[in-house]
Amino acid sequence: TQTVSQSDAHVTVFEGDSVELRCNYSYGGSIYLSWYIQHHGHGLQFLLKYYSGNPVVQGVNGFEAEFSKSDSSFHLRKASVHWSDSAVYFCAVSASSGSWQLIFGSGTQLTVMP
C-alpha cells in the first residue's frame, strides 16, 4: 500500500520567516516524489520533484525539498516566505515506470501573515 502523510494540516508563519512543510511516504520500488501548490479556486501547480541524485532539489519561487530514504521523508522548505506563498501544498508519490498515478497527501494549508 502506497501512502503519503502530511502531518500538519495548517501552518501559520509571518512574512520573511522560514518554513518547513513535512511529508512522509510509504512506497515500494523506484519512485518520484513531488510537491504541488494550489491557490484557492485554482488547479494544482508543480513545484519540484525528486527521482535520484542530489537529495536536495530546487524548485520554483525559492522552494527546495530534501529527500531522506532513512526517514522516508521529503520535506519542503523555503528560507523567506512572502504573503503570496499562502496556499495549500500537496506532497505526492508515484511509481517511476509503467502504469502510474500520483498519490497525494492530504495537504498543508500555509498562511503567511503580514
Rank residues 18 and 101 by Cβ distance to other proteins and give the closer one.
101
Instruction: Provide the minimum distance between the beta carbon of 69 and other proteins in the complex, in angstroms, as a whole number.
Output: 17
Contacting other proteins (CB under 8 A), which of 17, 46, 62, 71?
A: 46
User: How long a stretch of residues is the chain?
Assistant: 114
Rank residues 18 and 106 by Cβ distance to other proteins and give the closer one.
106
Does residue number 94 form part of the binding site for other proteins (CB under 8 A)? yes
Q: What is the number of other CB atoms lying within 10 angstroms of the CB of residue 63?
A: 21
Closest by alpha carbon to 77, among 57, 103, 99, 96?
57
User: What are 37's three cell numbers?
Assistant: 501548490
Judge whether 81 and 19 are in contact, CB under 8 Å: yes
Quick note: the x/- pattern for other proteins over 49-78, rule CB under 8 A, is x-x---------------------------
Does residue number 107 form part of the binding site for other proteins (CB under 8 A)? yes
Does residue number 83 form part of the binding site for other proteins (CB under 8 A)? no
In angstroms, rounded to a whole number, what is the distance separating the alpha carbons of residues 31 and 17? 31
